[in-house]
């Protein structure tokens, strides 16, 4: 699942700022966005390629992709469904998954595909390989 555009994320975001103050903001974003592949361009000063979910939060809404996780933890208050560590090579399958070659398509797939990916680390973990 790819990162939503700003417009898509804004349309489904909840009203209300996700953080009460700058300390909460810095603690959470430092733990999540600070090591996420989606905001890596801003760490290289490419400000126009930053994560749209952060912009949503800065403009006073809470992205739907941020699930309440641990309200007592500054660093883990939310779980971001779109988080990917910078060293994550990504899923093996391309997204969206292409239709099989030579097959007819009876109906469009997009309305039936999940709006957000499950939170899963896609890196290979040698101990879990068959
Ligand atoms: S995808 Fe989530 S964790 Fe990654 S930069 Fe955007 S808001 Fe932060």
Rounded to two decimals, what is the model's pTM?
0.73
Who contacts 122 (Cβ-Cβ below 8 Å, separation ≥6)? 84, 88, 89, 90, 91, 92
Q: Which of 60, 66, 77, 46 is nearest to 4 (CA)?
A: 66
Q: Across residues 106-122, what is the average pLDDT?
A: 67
Domain count within the chain: 1
**CA–CA distance from 97 to each of 28, 29, 53, 78, 112 (Å)?**
32, 30, 24, 28, 13
**Does the structure show a pLDDT above 70 at 119?**
no
Does ligand 1 come within 6 angstroms of the Cβ of 13?
A: no
Confidence of residue 126 (pLDDT cuts 50, 70, 90): confident
**Does the structure show a pLDDT above 90 at 121?**
no
Whether the CB-CB separation of 86 and 36 falls below 8 Å is answered with yes
pLDDT over 70, % of the chain: 81
Tens digit of each residue's pLDDT (9 = 90 or more) over 48-71: 999 999 999 999 999 999 999 999
Who contacts 11 (Cβ-Cβ below 8 Å, separation ≥6)? none
| DSSP secondary structure string for all residues of 24-43 | HHHHHHHHTGGGBGGGHHHH
Determine the pLDDT at residue 129. Answer: 67
d(CA 68, CA 53): 15
Does ligand 1 come within 6 angstroms of the Cβ of 64?
A: no
Does ligand 1 come within 6 angstroms of the Cβ of 53?
A: yes
Residue 103: give the domain boundaries: 1-87+94-130
Calculate how far, in angstroms, residue 100's C-alpha sits from the geometric centre of ligand 1.
32
Q: Across residues 72-92, what is the average pLDDT?
A: 87
């Amino acid at each position: 699942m790819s990162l939503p555009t700003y417009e898509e994320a804004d349309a489904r975001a909840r009203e209300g700022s996700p953080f009460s103050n700058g300390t909460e903001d810095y603690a959470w974003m430092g733990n999540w966005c600070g090591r996420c592949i989606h905001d890596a361009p801003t760490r290289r000063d490419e400000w126009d390629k930053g994560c749209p979910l952060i912009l949503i939060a800065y403009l006073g809404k809470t992205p739907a992709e941020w699930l309440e996780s641990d309200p007592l933890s500054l660093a883990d208050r939310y779980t971001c469904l779109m988080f990917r560590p910078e060293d994550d090579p990504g899923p093996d399958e391309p997204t969206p998954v292409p239709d099989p070659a030579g097959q007819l398509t009876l109906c469009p797939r997009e309305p039936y595909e999940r709006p957000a990916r499950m939170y899963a680390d896609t890196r290979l973990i040698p101990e879990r390989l068959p």
